[in-house]
């Protein structure tokens, strides 16, 4: 298992060891003890999975207060651009975003710490997106950012006219008008 960091504090890219032969492949997608050896001690309590088609954009979402969530995200099949925005007011990277291509082929995972708005867009014809959460969902603690906020300047790669976005996500606030994360 290879783990790397990036410019946003607390974000880790995890590349599992994949063992393949003429039968297919095997990989350990999660090991609490191996991550703990590296200082990652989240106690994941829920697994979620979503199927989407090309152009579906989900996000940017987060949970606030005691309901804030860290996530371990990956793609089982297909490819997505996974994006996070740091909404932790005391963070030195507050307001910055980071994106990575996750796919069933590259098998990369991203550990998204609490205090990040998170979303993704499906780049392939279809995708199965899976993630672990270290806290349950709470509707009253829900927060979000508008995916096409001109302040954030996120390049979602695809033509915006092809995006499929929920009614809820098109009315999320822009950065600066968003709900405080209160970690």
Question: pLDDT tens-digit profile of 29-64?
Answer: 998 998 888 888 999 999 999 999 999 999 999 999
Residue 61 catalytic?
yes
The one catalytic residue among 118, 131, 147, 178:
131
pLDDT digits (tens, 9 = 90+) for 55-106: 999 999 999 999 999 999 999 999 999 999 999 999 999 999 999 999 999 9
Phi, psi at 147, each rounded to 5°: -60, -30
- Total-model pTM: 0.94
Q: Answer whether residue 180 shows pLDDT above 90.
A: no
The active-site residue out of 61, 97, 118, 178 is 61
- What average pLDDT is seen over the chain? 95
Region label for 103, one of left (φ > 0), alpha (ψ between -120 and 50) or beta (otherwise): beta
Structural element, H or E, at residue 4: strand 2-5
Is residue 147 annotated as part of the catalytic site, yes or no?
no
Question: Do you find a cis peptide bond into 169, omega within 30 degrees of 0?
Answer: no
β-strands 126-133, 46-53: how paired? antiparallel
What residues have CB less than 8 Å from 23, skipping those under 6 apart? Answer: none
What's the rounded Cα separation, in Å, for the pair 113 and 151? 22
Q: What domains, with CATH codes, occur in the chain?
A: 42-171 (2.60.120.10)
Apex 167 CA angle, 53 and 128, nearest 5: 25
In degrees and rounded to multiples of 5, residue 66 shows phi and psi of: -70, -10
Neighbours of 90 (CB within 10 A): 8
Tokens representing residue 68 in the block: 């804030």
């Amino acid at each position: 298992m290879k783990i790397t960091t990036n410019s946003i504090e607390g974000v880790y890219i995890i590349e599992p060891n994949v063992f393949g032969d003429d039968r297919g492949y095997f990989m350990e997608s999660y090991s609490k003890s191996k991550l703990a050896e590296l200082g990652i001690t989240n106690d994941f309590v829920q697994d979620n999975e979503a199927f989407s088609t090309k152009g579906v954009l989900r996000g940017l979402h987060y949970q606030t207060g005691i309901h804030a969530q860290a996530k371990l995200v990956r793609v089982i099949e297909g490819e997505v651009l996974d994006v996070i925005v740091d909404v932790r007011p005391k963070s030195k990277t507050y307001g910055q975003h980071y994106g990575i291509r996750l796919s069933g082929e590259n098998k990369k995972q991203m550990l998204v710490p609490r205090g990040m708005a998170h979303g993704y867009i499906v780049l392939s014809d279809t995708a199965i997106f899976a993630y672990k959460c270290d806290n349950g969902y709470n509707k009253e603690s829900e927060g979000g950012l508008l995916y096409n906020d001109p302040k954030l300047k996120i390049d979602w790669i695809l033509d915006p006219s092809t995006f499929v976005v929920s009614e809820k996500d098109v009315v999320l606030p822009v950065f600066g008008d968003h709900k405080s994360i209160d970690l």
